[in-house]
Amino acid sequence: GAVVSQHPSRVICKSGTSVKIECRSLDFQATTMFWYRQFPKQSLMLMATSNEGSKATYEQGVEKDKFLINHASLTLSTLTVTSAHPEDSSFYICSATRVAEAFFGQGTRLTVV
């Protein structure tokens, strides 16, 4: 199947700093990627749709100024958590769709201390 790579897999940052997470489609081009957040023992919640060459669309309740999404190429989307706080600690995971099937990155465990 298609490969989606996410980096880093784990990151610990201090409160108030920003963290960038990368999501790459390695063997296909993805005009659209999706970002999810998953809190412990909970489901994956869609945060936003990343659109290549245009602005991301955010789900209700997700702060676009806090979660900056950039999709500058057909193989790379980045999510930047700005001014991170402990409540932003979560598992962030991206996905890209190829031939109508979603492929997920490995996920990023963010811990804000």
Partner 1 sequence: GENVEQHPSTLSVQEGDSAVIKCTYSDSASNYFPWYKQELGKRPQLIIDIRSNVGEKKDQRIAVTLNKTAKHFSLHITETQPEDSAVYFCAAEDSSYKLIFGSGTRLLVRP
Applying CB under 8 A, the residues found at the interface with partner 1 are 32, 34, 42-46, 49, 91, 93, 95, 97, 100-102, 104-107, 109
Alpha-carbon gap, residue 1 to 12, rounded angstroms = 31
Collapsing DSSP to helix, strand or coil, 25 comes out as strand
CB nearer partner 1, residue 16 or residue 27: 27
DSSP state, residue 89: -
Other CB atoms within a 10 A radius of the CB of residue 43 amount to 9
In angstroms, give the least distance from the CB of 102 to partner 1: 6
Phi (first) and psi of residue 86, to 5 degrees: -50, -35
Alpha-carbon gap, residue 64 to 102, rounded angstroms = 23
CB nearer partner 1, residue 17 or residue 42: 42
CB nearer partner 1, residue 32 or residue 82: 32
In angstroms, give the least distance from the CB of 17 to partner 1: 23
Alpha-carbon gap, residue 10 to 56, rounded angstroms = 24
In angstroms, give the least distance from the CB of 90 to partner 1: 12
CB nearer partner 1, residue 45 or residue 82: 45
In angstroms, give the least distance from the CB of 4 to partner 1: 9
